[in-house]
Each structure stands twice: as C-alpha cells, then as structure tokens.
Structure 1
Amino acid sequence: MTNASLQLAATSGLLTLGMFGVGLALLAVLGGSFWLGTRVKSREPARPRPEEQPHLPPGGAVHEIRENREPDEVPRTAEGGRPLTPYELTNMQTRSSTDQKRPRWSRGSSGSFGGGGLGSH
C-alpha cells in the first residue's frame, strides 16, 4: 500500500462528527413529526361514545335481495304523431321479472366485450 491509500483509508474525526450530526438531525425530524402529529390529533373531535354509535333498525338486520328486474314498456306513439321527448320518459319503473333464473352467457362466449375469448361462432 502506498502512503496516499493509507491516508485515504484512515478515519477522519470530521467524518465521524458529520455522521453524528446527521443522526441528531434525523432524531430531531422524527421527534418534530411526532410532536406535530400529537398537536393535530388533539384538535380533532372526540370519538363517538357507545350510545352515539349506529344501531340496528327495530326490525333487525336488512339483507340484500337478489332478483331479476325488467323495465316497464316504453310508451308507443301514434302513427304520424310527434316523438316523445326525454322529459316525457322520466321515472321509468321496473318490476320483478316472471323468470327469476339468472341469465348466463352463451356457451363458448368470453362473457364480455374484448374478453379475449373466441366468442360464440
């Protein structure tokens, strides 16, 4: 080894002091973030008490109902009459379908547009 490489490999007091300073700065940033988080949390409203929590309705839990629905028929206009405006078609209702069997995709179909399957041929 040459003298130059020995001098480069020797530890410097300035380097040790610099690393100690970086460690102290990191501790100061972490402590400051903890202090700031505590201040922000203290300004938040208090947690709700148990009596303020939501309760089940008197009839018990409400469950999901799965059924097939079908829309009402679109009103027909008389031959040669004026077309209906969107405002005349509002509040179209649905009703429970007579056939409650779930619709399935046709065999060999990908099930969606662009799904990558061969599709029905």
Structure 2
Amino acid sequence: MQLAAASGLMSLFLFIVAVALLALLGGGFWMTSRVKYREPPRPRPDEQPKLPPEGAVHEVRQNRESAEVPQTSKGGRPLTPYELTNMDSQPSESEERPRWSRGSSGSFGGGGLGAH
C-alpha cells in the first residue's frame, strides 16, 4: 500500500519537470521571434518581379554543330587543353535530332535496346 500511495517528493519532481518543459517551449518561441525580427521584411507587391514588356520568354530548341578539333601532324605531339581555344558552336542547318541508333537517345538508360 505504501508503494501505491503518492509521495510528496514525486509530485514535486513532476511539477519541476513540467515547469522546465514549459520554460523550454517558451524559450524556443522567444528565440524564434528574435530570429524572425532580424530578417529583412517581405517584399511588397510593387517590389515583385514583373514580366518583360514583350511578354513571357519561351524556350528555343535548336541543334548546334560544334567546331572541329584541330588535327595534329602524324608523329607530332598531341595538343594540351591549354593549347585548345574555346570551342565555339554554331546553329545547325538540320532540324533533325542526332541519334546514336534507331529508337535510342544515346544516353545511359535511354530506353533503347542498346547496340546489338
């Protein structure tokens, strides 16, 4: 019977734990409000980005042809990356997408059967 009876010390311990928990939660809200107060204010509606006067920008799809890599003479030393210039590309005349093989995009996992 004595074990089942509530002791004053146990009640005091539970009360202290409850007060500590409430203080911890209150401190969390206080810290959050301090951080939020230091943030810059949200932009007003007139500060929001606007569309350009000509309207929305649309995607442009085109094929590009890369410049040829310079050939070295037979027996000559290979070119280093520092000797190559910025290889520029130009728009391609062809509108057909280049393919590695029929039914495949040429990428790993492209859905094709591969080179058989």
Q: TM-score, normalised by structure 2?
A: 0.69
- Greater fraction helix: 1
Tell me: CA distance 1:75–1:41, structure 2 relative to 1, closer, same or farther (3 Å): same
What SS does structure 1 have at the residue aligned with 2:96?
Answer: coil
Q: 1:96 — aligned with what?
A: 91
Q: Deviations over 1:19-50 (max 9, x none)?
A: 12111111111111111211221122222222
Q: Structure 2: which 5+ residue stretches go unaligned?
A: none
1:1-121 map, 5 Å: 6-79=1-74, 83-97=78-92, 98-101=94-97, 103=99, 112=108, 120-121=115-116
Q: TM-score, normalised by structure 1?
A: 0.67
Query: Would you say how many aligned residue pairs link Structure 1 and Structure 2?
Result: 112
Q: Output the amino acid matched with 2:7.
A: S
Shift of 1:107: 6.2
Task: Give the aligned CA root-mean-square deviation in angstroms.
Answer: 3.2
8 A contact 2:101–2:115 mirrored in 1: no
